[in-house]
Amino acid sequence: QKEVEQNSGPLSVPEGAIASLNCTYSDRGSQSFFWYRQYSGKSPELIMSIYSNGDKEDGRFTAQLNKASQYVSLLIRDSQPSDSATYLCAVMVNNNDMRFGAGTRLTVKP
Amino acid sequence: KAGVTQTPRYLIKTRGQQVTLSCSPISGHRSVSWYQQTPGQGLQFLFEYFSETQRNKGNFPGRFSGRQFSNSRSEMNVSTLELGDSALYLCASSPPLPNYGYTFGSGTRLTVV
């Protein structure tokens, strides 16, 4: 079982819709969770972090964490074509070891 | 504030050669992690350094090695290059509290021919 699993997609949504990205992880002791966005040909950039069960909102982005289910998600509201990218889920498996999922490619169609 | 700097940006090497990649972290960041990214495997963890010590290592062969200097700059070395080593190599630095997440450099694109 992979440490961090994501649906590879591609996920396609129309402009203005909600994009939902999902991630599961295997290490029950993980405490820190992150979402990175990676545009084609660029390096990953951090967009959200979450540490406690529940929701965390930042602008159009909402991260959701359920430690009992070992599940993390990212919702993007009012999706824009500029949101088209690969989204990487990352889990800190100990204080200095971050593991990434394979990424979900999102396309937002105008 | 300068970001994470990786050099060179692009490299073309021949099978059997060795290569050294460099990473300068954000000022004040003492942890440096290295990842290999390929289309098929995604981001694979290579190793992490803190205060010149390797704290974690991923599942890569011994041909992949690294080190960190007293100024936190890090290098990784790949010896006896294989075609399968062609990838984007990313370096990331993190502050003393790594739970704030990593900041990535622009990467080094290595092509082995």
DSSP string, A38-73: E-TTS--EEEEEE-SSEEEEETTEEEEEETTTTEEE
Token code pair at residue A27 = 């290490």
Q: B69 vs chain A: nearest CA distance in angstroms?
A: 18
Q: B40 vs chain A: nearest CA distance in angstroms?
A: 9
pLDDT at B113: 97
In which band, very low, low, confident or very high, does the pLDDT at A94 lie, cut at 50, 70 and 90?
A: confident
pLDDT at A31: 87
* Residues 6 or more apart whose Cβ sits within 8 Å of residue A56: A48, A49, A50, A62, A63, A64, A65
pLDDT at B98: 57
List the single residue in A43, A92, A99 with the smallest CB-CB distance to B106. A43
Question: Which residue in B has a C-alpha nearest to residue A30's C-alpha?
Answer: B99
pLDDT at A69: 94
pLDDT at A107: 97
Spatial distance between the Cα atoms of A100 and A106, rounded to a whole number of angstroms: 17
pLDDT at B40: 78
Answer whether residue B93 shows pLDDT above 80. Answer: yes
Q: Are A4 and A25 a contacting pair, CB within 8 Å?
A: yes
Residues of B in contact with A51 (CB under 8 A): 99
Q: Per residue in B9-67, pLDDT tens?
A: 999 999 999 999 999 999 989 999 999 999 878 899 999 999 999 998 999 999 999 99
A100 CB within 8 Å of a chain B CB: yes
Residues of B in contact with A88 (CB under 8 A): 42-43
Spatial distance between the Cα atoms of B98 and A34, rounded to a whole number of angstroms: 12
In which band, very low, low, confident or very high, does the pLDDT at A96 lie, cut at 50, 70 and 90?
A: confident
Q: B111 vs chain A: nearest CA distance in angstroms?
A: 15
pLDDT at B41: 81
pLDDT at B36: 97
Answer whether residue B109 shows pLDDT above 70. Answer: yes
CB distance B42–A99 less than 8 Å?
A: no
B95 CB within 8 Å of a chain A CB: no
Q: Torsions phi, psi of B100, nearest 5?
A: -80, -5
In which band, very low, low, confident or very high, does the pLDDT at A54 lie, cut at 50, 70 and 90?
A: very high
pLDDT at B42: 86
* Residues 6 or more apart whose Cβ sits within 8 Å of residue B11: B19, B21, B108, B109, B110, B111
pLDDT at A61: 97
pLDDT at A1: 61
Cα B107 versus chain centre, distance? 8
Show the beta-strand stretches assigned E in chain B: 5-7, 10-13, 19-24, 31-38, 42-50, 53-57, 64-68, 74-78, 87-94, 103-104, 108-112
In which band, very low, low, confident or very high, does the pLDDT at A70 lie, cut at 50, 70 and 90?
A: very high
Q: Per residue in A14-23, pLDDT tens?
A: 999 999 999 9
Cα distances (Å, whole numbers) of residue A108 to A66, A76, B43? 27, 11, 24
Question: Which residue in B has a C-alpha nearest to residue A96's C-alpha?
Answer: B98
Answer whether residue A51 shows pLDDT above 60. Answer: yes
